[in-house]
Structure 1
């Protein structure tokens, strides 16, 4: 049975540090699809050679996994645990914040020196309460490590996490999640078989798609009804997308700033721990 499109949500502009991103989730018409809490899209941004540093300065995370799909350019990140590294176009970084850390990110110095176009999607993936106090960790995967999710001509969707049909993504989530991203050529048609009962989302970064006979413009997020399992897609133009499907986490969500917990009291404790320096120290 075809899945119904319950919501088509336009990303609204939101300022984060020196960046202006689009945020279709959460939205005034639809809040959470836990495990999916937040989706941010930095649309293509062109930097001339020799651009000055531009970063999202050190900020705290606790209780969830920020996941970055790098579409264009090269990012650089570091945290208060001593982790640092680069994220290149076509790569995905799955960062589990766990019990807490400080993190900063932005275009790398090398990228800014040469100039170019920068674009990414960042997703916040919730975790069940028993994992929120676990130590933080990182995983990263490049195009060669992520198998193609769909084998149709003109469709280049790489599976970052979860199992789809006979292929398995290399990245790990504490709750079952299927995450894929990539491009679709104009006039290509294909179908995705979703797991009934999961929260299923599809974000169109660029281009126009017909999804189960409804038109979806660029910079819009589709939230599907949990019933049904068939998603039919036809590309009216070349397009870029992120596809997500996850087993619901049936627990309360208390989110504030960059903290995702189960209760307001837990959020307040996280803020207190951060203020008292328990998330560590990170120079910009």
Structure 2
């Protein structure tokens, strides 16, 4: 049966550093979390002029996984636990922050030097309490390593993480979830499946979709009811979207700054550990 829409959330502009602004539909004043999905940040297409200088300098994370999907241009990641990578369009990375790491990210030096387009999505995926203090790790999945769920006849669906219709995504998660990147041409109808009881979300990166009689516009996040198992979407224009579905982590969530823990005391401890230098150093 078809899932009903619970919320249509408009992304708002949010400044995350002095020089970096993103679109953020989650968390939202009308709907905070769909754990394991805690945050969705979208850097919509930006034009980088040749000779630019910008970078999100080393900053800490603990207790969750920042997951980045590159849409345009080139982005880099480097952390102080040995993880590093350069992402090109379609590539995705999964950084498990675990007990704590420092990392730096932003457009590559080549993109800054030569100029070009830059766009990405970053998700914050919660970790269950029993894994939040595990050692950090890093995964990188190239576009051509992501199985095609559909290709041709107006649909392109790539499986980034999780299981879907017998396929396995290359980025391994800690709890059951599915991340799919999709493109549809005008008039194309697409069925998507989800397990009943899971949180299921769809973020429209660009274009326009019709879902359950509702016209969905770019930069809107759809939160579906947990019962039932099917979505049916129709593209009104060329459209790009991100489909997310995951088993709920039924634990308290305390999220503040760069940390996702279970209690405010754990947040305070993470902040104190960072100030005390316990996250180490990263010269990058």
Bin the TM-score by the shorter chain. over 0.9
CA spacing shift, 1:195–1:151, aligned 2, 3 Å: farther
**What do residues 168-212 of structure 1 show as CA deviations (whole Å, max 9, x unaligned)?**
111111100100113211111110111110000000011000112
Q: Give how far 1:152 is off.
A: 6.0
TM-score normalised by length of structure 1: 0.97
* Residue 34 of structure 2: aligned partner: 33
* Residue 221 of structure 1: aligned partner: 221
* Residue 282 of structure 2: aligned partner: 282
**What do residues 59-85 of structure 1 show as CA deviations (whole Å, max 9, x unaligned)?**
110000000010000001211224322
Distance 2:248 2:196 in 1: 11
* Runs of at least 5 residues in structure 2 that lack an aligned partner in the other structure: none
RMSD of the alignment, in Å?
A: 1.1
Distance 1:166 1:212 in 2: 27
Q: Give how far 1:167 is off.
A: 1.1
User: For the Cα contact (< 8 Å) 1:81–1:280, is it kept in 2?
Assistant: no
User: For the Cα contact (< 8 Å) 2:196–2:228, is it kept in 1?
Assistant: yes
Instruction: Name the stretch that deviates more: 83-92 or 198-207.
Output: 83-92
> Equivalent residues in 2 for 1:189-200 (5 A)?
189-200=189-200
* Residue 10 of structure 2: aligned partner: 10
Q: In the comparison of the two structures, how many residue pairs are matched? A: 283
Distance 1:277 1:16 in 2: 22
- Structure 1 segments, 4+ long, off by >6 Å, are none
Distance 1:167 1:184 in 2: 20
Q: Give how far 1:150 is off.
A: 3.1
Distance 1:121 1:151 in 2: 22
Q: Give how far 1:20 is off.
A: 1.0
**What do residues 204-247 of structure 1 show as CA deviations (whole Å, max 9, x unaligned)?**
01100011221110000000000111101110000111100000
Distance 2:193 2:150 in 1: 10
**What do residues 25-57 of structure 1 show as CA deviations (whole Å, max 9, x unaligned)?**
000000000000000000100112222x21112
* Runs of at least 5 residues in structure 1 that lack an aligned partner in the other structure: none
Distance 1:231 1:116 in 2: 36
TM-score normalised by length of structure 2: 0.97
> Equivalent residues in 2 for 1:223-242 (5 A)?
223-242=223-242
* Residue 116 of structure 1: aligned partner: 116
